[in-house]
Structure 1
Amino acid sequence: MNSVDIIPGDHIFYRCGTHDHHGIYCGDIPYKNKIYHNVVIHFEGKFKRGQIRGVSFEKFAKGHNIYVVQYKKGSCYYNNLVLDRAINKLGEPDYNLFGNNCEHFAHWCKTGTKRCGQLHNFIEEAGGILGGAIAGGVAGAVLPLTLPEVVIIGVCLAAGFGGSELGKRIANLFSDQPDYEEG
């Protein structure tokens, strides 16, 4: 393991290029009359064919640095219940990038709600870019060409900022921000 102290019931993740991969560290667990050692339960997503699986810590980490998600005090279940929730989901299918992915699973094990910060941030950024582009374009199109360029650019930037705020509101409508901080 890494230098990070990881205990059974922890929500862990590693950074993998454009995204993070999440799971629940379980340590040694009994399952189907056998003891499995140093297990991480995670949603192994392969489009719609993914399922919740238990793998060794080493196989989960794949050489990446592992981080423990720090939840706000009082926002999650006790570790024994987290372990039970994760173990009881083993073998469940129906991976869905937007509504049932590895981060949704780990957050559900810890809190009982499915949330995904990566999805929330993506919606927020995409909505901000789209809203900013539309608002800035409309502002630029309706301003008279006789105004100085600096004024036109300033109005377009202000409209773009307003559009990015719209993106944040859109993200909050379609996705809940998780109640933890990664790291």
Structure 2
Amino acid sequence: MAKGDHIYIQKGLITHHGIDCGDGTVIHHRGKPAGGRITKTSYSEFAEGKQVYVKPCSYKFSADEIVRRAERRLHEQNYNLFSNNCEHFAMRCTTGQSNSQQVDNSVTARHAGVAAAGGLLLVETTVPAAGLLGAVGFTTTAMLPPVAIAVGAALAAGAVFVAFKKLSELDDKRH
């Protein structure tokens, strides 16, 4: 890791992002339960004992400028899970773009499930065979209406989205 790197840790189903200041500190945007504030903490406090990764992206600014951009936003309290979270903050500092792949992925998954409902009348899919045969790994094909598949996909995507939000809130309470 180096000064100006966009770094992140894995926290269950979500990731938490920040900017490495190159001096053993990290500037990151904490969630609402922690005051929704952009703060500067030690690298080890940011890492919480977890592996820290560098997010690969096209950096638009120099390392010094990235850190300056992060420092200018210290103490802001405008956290919003969907439009101004820790990943939005780190991307804005490094690229000038306010993006969150986590938010984009959860919204895309929800829309994909709903869009699938407009497909064919029946869709062929593989499912476990009934009874003992299914228990030992045999499968069969079944014809299901796409709305059943779409509803299942939308519910699964919605569950992931809700879990992402809840984990974020629970995790931020620890700070």
TM (normalized to structure 2)?
A: 0.68
2:72 is the counterpart of 1:88: yes
Q: Which amino acid aligns with 1:139?
A: L
Given candidates 79, 87, 104, the residue that maps to 2:63 is 79
Stretches of structure 2 lacking an aligned partner (at least 5 in a row): 123-140, 155-175
- DSSP-derived class of the 1:139 partner: coil
1:100 aligns with 2:84: yes
Moved over 6 A (4+): none
Q: What is the aligned-residue RMSD (CA, Å)?
A: 2.7
Tell me the residue number matched to 1:135. Answer: 118
Offset at residue 112 of structure 1 (A): 1.1
For residue 41 of structure 2, what is the amino acid of its counterpart? V
Is 2:2 aligned against 1:13?
A: no
- Measure the CA separation in 2 of the matches of 1:121 and 1:78: 28
- Match among 22, 27, 47 for residue 27 of structure 1: 22
Deviations 1:35-55 (A, max 9, x none): xxx110000112594010000
Residue-by-residue CA offset, 1:54-78 (whole Å, 9 max, x unaligned): 0000000001100001113xx5211
CA distance in 1, matches of 2:41, 2:143: 57
Q: Counterparts of 1:48 and 1:124 in 2: how far apart (Å)?
A: 28
Deviation at 1:139, TM superposition (A): 2.6
TM-fit CA distance, 1:126 = 1.0
Shift in CA distance, 121/84, structure 1 to aligned 2, threshold 3 Å:
same
Percent of residue pairs identical: 35
- 1 CA distance for matches of 2:146 and 2:78? 44
Q: In structure 2, what is the Cα distance between the partners aligned to 1:11 and 1:111? A: 10
- 3-state SS of 1:105 partner: helix
Alignment of 1:1-183 (within 5 A): 6-28=1-23, 38-46=24-32, 49-72=35-58, 75-132=59-116, 134-136=117-119, 139-140=121-122, 153=144, 156=146
Give the aligned length. Answer: 134
3-state SS of paired residue (1:92): coil
Listed as ranges, the gaps of 5+ residues in structure 1 are 1-5, 29-37, 141-149, 165-183
